Amino acid sequence: MKEDQKKSPALLLYDATCRMCQAGSRQALQLVPPGLLKVQDINNPELQARYKITPEAAQRQMHLVTRAGKVIRGAEAVRYILYLSGWLKPLAYLWNVPGFDLVAQSSYLWVADHRYLFMGKNEPACEDGACAVHLGKVAN
C-alpha cells in the first residue's frame, strides 16, 4: 500500500464545456481522498495527443488515466473513481456481476449523449461548435 501512495494521482479528463461534466468532476474530487485524483479539460489538444484520445472520443465520454498510467473511459472510469473513494469501493464490485458492465456503459453513453439537455452548455465555450455533436447539429 505504501508504494501505491507514492504514485502520482489519477487524472480525470472531463468536458469543461459541459455543466454536468463540471459538476461530476467536482463530485469526483469530493469522493476521493485528497491527492489521489486531479482533473483537467479533455478538450485540451495537448492532453488528447499525450493520451492518444481523438477529439471525437473526447466529446463522447470522460477518460481517466489511472495511477498506473492506463487510460480508461466512460463507466469504467466511474468504477475506478468509486474504487479510489474508499467508502464507495463496494459499489465498484458491481462490475463483477455478469452483464453489469454492459448496462453501466450503455447507460453512461446515453447520459453522455444527452448531457447538454440535462444541465445546459457553457457559453461561449460551445460557440465554436464543440457542443454540436450533443445538440443534434452534426451527423454521427
pLDDT category, 1, cuts 50, 70, 90?
very low
Residue 88 lies in a domain: yes
Residue 32 lies in a domain: yes
Q: CB of 10 within 8 A of CB of 36? A: yes
Distance from C-alpha of 118 to C-alpha of 103, rounded to nearest angstrom: 20
> 89 is in which domain, residue-wise?
2-134
For residue 39, the SS3 value is strand
C-alpha cell, 81: 473513481
| Strand 71-73 relative to strand 10-14, pairing | unpaired
Q: Quick one: average pLDDT of 74-95?
A: 95
* Residue found by looking up cell 463496494 in the block: 90
Residue 24 lies in a domain: yes
pLDDT at 20: 86
Q: Quick one: average pLDDT of 123-138?
A: 50
Total domain count, the chain? 1
The CATH number given to whatever domain includes residue 54 is 3.40.30
pLDDT at 119: 67
Residue 84 lies in a domain: yes
Q: Which residues contact 102 (CB under 8 A, 6 or more apart)?
A: none
Residue 136 reports pLDDT greater than 60:
no
C-alpha cell, 35: 491527492
User: 115 or 13: whose pLDDT is higher?
Assistant: 13
pLDDT category, 138, cuts 50, 70, 90?
very low
Residue 16 reports pLDDT greater than 50:
yes
pLDDT category, 137, cuts 50, 70, 90?
very low
Residue 139 lies in a domain: no
Residue 104 lies in a domain: yes
pLDDT at 116: 76
Residue 140 lies in a domain: no
Residue 61 lies in a domain: yes
